[in-house]
A and B are shown apart, each in its own frame.
Chain A
């Protein structure tokens, strides 16, 4: 039987493991013979290099991240050196590593950081791959999926509204669910009852397997565990504001961040439009929507376009065009330490576009200058100064979806937009930049 906590470390079983074996943070750097022995007993594990085997909890935490980073650049690879991550023999250690990871990231970086998002995604992918590895033992897999699901969802029927958080964060799409009067159809009998007679020219059984089968169930538990992981990180972060953070966890957080950032150094293409260095803006490479916005807005919605759309785009295009390909959080000053570029190149472009609006934006709404500073991460202040950096978040560029909804007049997709599947205007810029 597969332990539930191998799939869901946040399950009651997982919490018990932590209570029983997880207590001592001072010892997590110590060599753990039990851990080493259990990994060595895994047959599929590659052991040709001693470095493949984590020696303690922190090693295990870092191995999880290394797997995630390598997998991202080479998704087909099975990575025999990480085989232990997919064997339930390590459950006990794995659960504790999960909690260390979440706590370290929660304390140091908080729930909205790129690090946290990467950890949540890591957990999702880990579960997905673990379930995939279980394919040779379908019965065990179904059993554990059902158990985990039962614990996650107490009611018999799952209303789609329960997944609102997941839908909002785009971890689940409403369109992937089969819905009947508000309930998500997961059960075979229920599916047949509602749809069997309507299905023509195909076997209803097959349709059930394709649309619901085990897949959507797995998807739902994965997404729910991801959401719970996010919530857990958030809780840790909130708690950490009231107590002195543990120095060991802070140290591990730095190691985690370093392991996550390796991706940028070693694997520089293939994800989210690839990577590019900060370099002066070239307006000819801008997508149609940005070009339009730069001409100024002649009707309603000036604030949104200038503050929420243009400001993040121009600042990221200039300073951190690869933001969506990286796992780590940057501040403007990480790239532009004295803010010279921001003040002399980016802000003037934004102000020019604001002046071209009719009426000019700052004539009737001078407070929007403060909002522009806020979106660059410098708090709600009229001056852009380093001492306020971090009081607000440096907003990432709005995706095409949001542009279409909020400012449809700007979206005039050209061939390049279409080829890039209209995801984010920044990808357009990156794409042209690389050519």
Chain B
């Protein structure tokens, strides 16, 4: 069996006509289909066929079965007049984690592989924890996109938020800002490191830094961190398993420690594709559609613990390729 190979036109036909079923399209799309804009990529050159609207799932079904597109997309936005992208009502809040673009990967592959897909899932789990635990968001759907994950959020009060708020949410959940280390009250000023604060943003930040440090390799590139410093980080990182941050910082040296977390802070910004999160009018790959470039099915993840893309998102025709 050959994975990650592009699907041929014939394979796309087999997929949409024999394997795909309109019922596999997530309810969150079917239930609001008349307010969404759809876009299609027919020739593998980008989604040029946009401004498409389907009033019922049945029309979408007929379209997909007859056109068997290279890729299918649907807006995160709900419009009064989706055909003209006018009358914006609200948009899902979205986080796009693409395995290929994760800043720190242990696999070192050129594209995507089992290892970085697993790492993408770990990152997604961390983000969802924060979205639920801190921000109290509840209506969260996870989609395997074919080469990464989309977190799609439907809580009513965030769907109407503008790009500026979304960008702050993004920075909060990924840990893209250095937390302040000086705090004051009536009695004076205190130096508090992020790792000594077990709540709020500093705590989220600590989790993200820990994840990053645990996934560094000797080949990792960190801004302003030289080979010697990277080596020291790798040697000492087992301390973080037991949350001995203070000792870790002392061993590295406070100034060098700051360099490391600064570099990680800027890497964190690319854990997710920021443009997708702040763009209220994005189109995202349609759940259940085929990602033809890698021959994987864009699939809603019902249970994140048991989901395995190599079991649950490989279309039938791929299994038959070498037989």
List residues 139-173 of chain B with CB under 8 A from any CB of chain A.
157-158, 161-162, 164-165, 167-169, 171-172
Chain B residues in 8 Å Cβ range of A195:
198-199
- Shortest CB-to-CB span from A86 to chain B, Å, is 19
**Contacts A167-B168, A215-B185 given: A159-B136 contact, CB under 8 Å?**
yes
Q: Mark the stretch among B79-87, B108-116, B127-135, B249-257 that contacts chain A.
A: B127-135
Does any Cβ of B come within 8 Å of A364's Cβ?
Answer: no
Query: Which one of A169, A177, A201 contacts B200 once the chains associate, using CB atoms below 8 Å?
Result: A177
- Asked if A161 and B157 make an inter-chain contact with CB atoms under 8 angstroms apart, the answer reads yes
Q: Which residues on A sit within 8 Å (CB–CB) of B199? A: 178, 180, 185, 194-195, 198, 211
User: Known contacts A159-B136, A202-B196, A210-B190; is A174 also within 8 Å of B169 by CB?
Assistant: yes
Partner of A406, one of B158, B183, B198, B275: B275
Tell yes or no: B22 within 8 A of A by CB.
no
Main secondary structure of the interface of A (DSSP, over half): helix
Q: Is B269 an interface residue (CB 8 A)?
A: yes
Interface assignment of A3: CB less than 8 Å from any CB of chain B: no
Interface residues on A, range: 35 or more
Q: In this complex, what residue of B is CB-closest to A182?
A: B136
Pair A175/B172 contact, Cβ less than 8 Å:
yes
Contacts of A177 in B (CB 8 A): 200
Assuming the contacts A174-B168, A174-B169, A174-B172, asked whether A211 and B133 have C-beta atoms less than 8 A apart, the reply is no
| A209 in contact (CB, < 8 A) | yes
Which residues of B from 263 to 310 have beta carbons under 8 Å from A?
269, 274-275, 278
> Is B201 in the interface zone, CB < 8 Å from A?
yes
Chain A residue nearest in CB terms to B190: A210
Interface residue? A173 (CB, 8 A): yes
In whole angstroms, how far apart are the Cα atoms of A173 and B278 in the complex?
17
Contact of A405 with B275 at beta-carbon distance under 8 Å, contacts A168-B161, A181-B132 already known = yes
- Min CB gap B157→A, angstroms: 4
Instruction: Write the residues of chain B forming the contact surface with A, with a CB cutoff of 8 angstroms.
Output: 132-137, 157-158, 161-162, 164-165, 167-169, 171-172, 177, 179, 183-186, 190, 192, 196-201, 269, 274-275, 278
A-side residues, CB < 8 A to B, are 135, 159-161, 164, 167-170, 173-183, 185, 194-195, 198-202, 206-207, 209-211, 213, 215, 401, 404-406, 408
The 4 closest A-B pairs by CB, nearest first: A182-B136, A198-B198, A175-B201, A161-B157
Supplied contacts A135-B186, A182-B135, A210-B183, 13 more A-B pairs, CB within 8 Å: A167-B165, A167-B168, A170-B164, A174-B171, A175-B177, A178-B199, A178-B200, A182-B134, A183-B136, A198-B199, A209-B186, A405-B274, A406-B275
